[in-house]
Structure 1
């Protein structure tokens, strides 16, 4: 887990927890098929990270815009992956073998 969290900005770790709860809500509501939940969480992660990037970074030049887009996408995918990792860890710890 340390390898994953070393790439995620500390301010965005809370987004992984939010995505975990969104995923649990989607699963319990049975609103979508389970196979689509990671894709939805990925999109939500990118969107939430984009809000954070837009709120915290100066965006004036083309280079700054490109960097903001890149950061939002990469951080969004990482936090979505982290939320899935949290979900799987909890499932595995709950198994009786």
Structure 2
């Protein structure tokens, strides 16, 4: 987890927590098959991170726009992965071995 945290922007860590709760809500609602939840969280993470990147970056020029898109995608995937990791840590901590 420490290695993942080195790449996630500190201000976007809260997005992982939000995605964790969204995932739990999707699982509880039973409207979405479990196998689609990670993909939904990934897309939602990219969208939320995209909003953050657009709000904080200077989007003048092709290079800046490309970098903003890249950053949004990478950060979105990382926070979605982090939310899944959080879920697994919670599940595993409750198991007895």
Fold conserved (TM > 0.5)?
A: yes
Give the TM-score, by structure 1 length.
0.98
After TM superposition, what 4+ stretches of structure 1 lie above 3 angstroms from structure 2? none
Unaligned stretches of 5+ residues in structure 1: none
Q: Distance in 2 between matches of 1:27 and 1:20?
A: 11
Q: Distance in 2 between matches of 1:31 and 1:41?
A: 15
Q: Distance in 2 between matches of 1:4 and 1:60?
A: 30
Q: CA RMSD in A?
A: 0.5
Give the TM-score, by structure 2 length.
0.98
Q: Distance in 2 between matches of 1:36 and 1:67?
A: 28
Q: Distance in 1 between matches of 2:24 and 2:65?
A: 33
Partner of 2:71: 71
Partner of 2:95: 95
